């Protein structure tokens, strides 16, 4: 991680945009600084061509500390990032994107969880058992984002997730990791698994 993580976020956003995971102005990426504040993409920006000016720096409780442009507003989903940094103190990056496949698999939820297939790729999410049976937590979508964040906090305090990723119904995937590089790896693997699940259902496997 660079001392200013915005370059990591810009590179990741460019790649995710090209993959179709951040079309329109959808999604938001953040990375934490040593003082606990975090840079997060500003609201309403095209993610394929971000600059360092398209971010705001936010305190752990959501106060805007620094804004390269006066009109920048933090992403509407900032409260979810806050909640995840609070729940997982080792997390230094949090990525949220809206792939088509993430939205499709959110429809295959069983008891607020998505069952994951026993792919070798799960090792990349930290699952090192033979024939693993793990799930990804799924949350309801609300227009009022802090309500989603509150449900994430309530649930994860009681039962931590099997993998560092969560889904919101019709509203994409979010991963967190101890570095931007690992967050990118986790997201790639999560999306890979979603595409595998979609194809499996198409094939009635």
Chain residues binding a copy of itself by CB under 8 A are 20, 23-26, 46, 98, 100-101, 103-104, 107, 117-121, 124, 128-130, 141-143, 168, 170-172, 181, 184-186, 188-189, 191-192, 195-196, 198-203, 205
201 in a known ligand binding site: no
Closer CB to a copy of itself, 35 or 170, in the complex: 170
Minimum Å distance from CB 63 to a copy of itself?
Answer: 24
Strand partners, 56: 40
Closer CB to a copy of itself, 7 or 200, in the complex: 200
98 in a known ligand binding site: yes
Minimum Å distance from CB 37 to a copy of itself?
Answer: 27
CA distances, 51 to each of 6, 11, 18, 56, 77 (Å) = 8, 10, 16, 12, 20
Minimum Å distance from CB 131 to a copy of itself?
Answer: 9
DSSP 110: B
Tell me the chain's radius of gyration from C-alpha atoms: 16
- Dist CA 9 CA 27 (whole Å): 12
Closer CB to a copy of itself, 58 or 122, in the complex: 122
The set of residues, in sequence order, having a beta carbon less than 8 Å from that of 123 and lying 6+ positions away, is none
Minimum Å distance from CB 159 to a copy of itself?
Answer: 25
Closer CB to a copy of itself, 40 or 97, in the complex: 97
Positive or negative: CA dihedral 51, 73, 103, 95: positive
- Dist CA 39 CA 31 (whole Å): 6
For the annotated binding site, the residues are 96, 98
For the annotated binding site for Zn(2+), the residues are 96, 98
């Amino acid at each position: 991680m660079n001392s200013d993580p915005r370059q990591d976020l810009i590179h990741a956003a460019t790649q995710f945009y090209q993959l179709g995971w951040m079309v329109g102005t959808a999604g938001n990426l953040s990375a934490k600084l040593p003082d606990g504040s975090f840079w997060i993409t500003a609201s309403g920006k095209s993610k394929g061509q971000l600059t360092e000016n398209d971010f705001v720096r936010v305190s752990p409780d959501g106060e805007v500390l620094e804004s390269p442009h006066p009109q920048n507003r933090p992403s509407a989903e900032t409260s979810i990032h806050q909640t995840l940094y609070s729940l997982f103190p080792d997390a230094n990056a949090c990525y949220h994107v809206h792939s088509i496949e993430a939205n499709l698999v959110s429809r295959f939820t069983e008891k607020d969880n998505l069952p994951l297939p026993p792919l070798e790729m799960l090792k990349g999410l930290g699952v090192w058992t033979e024939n693993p049976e793990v799930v990804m937590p799924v949350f309801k979508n609300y227009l009022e984002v802090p309500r989603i964040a509150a449900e994430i906090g309530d649930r994860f305090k009681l039962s931590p997730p099997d993998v560092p990723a969560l889904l919101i119904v019709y509203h994409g995937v979010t991963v967190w990791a101890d570095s931007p590089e690992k967050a990118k790896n986790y997201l790639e693997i999560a999306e890979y698994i979603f595409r595998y699940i979609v194809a499996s259902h198409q094939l009635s496997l």
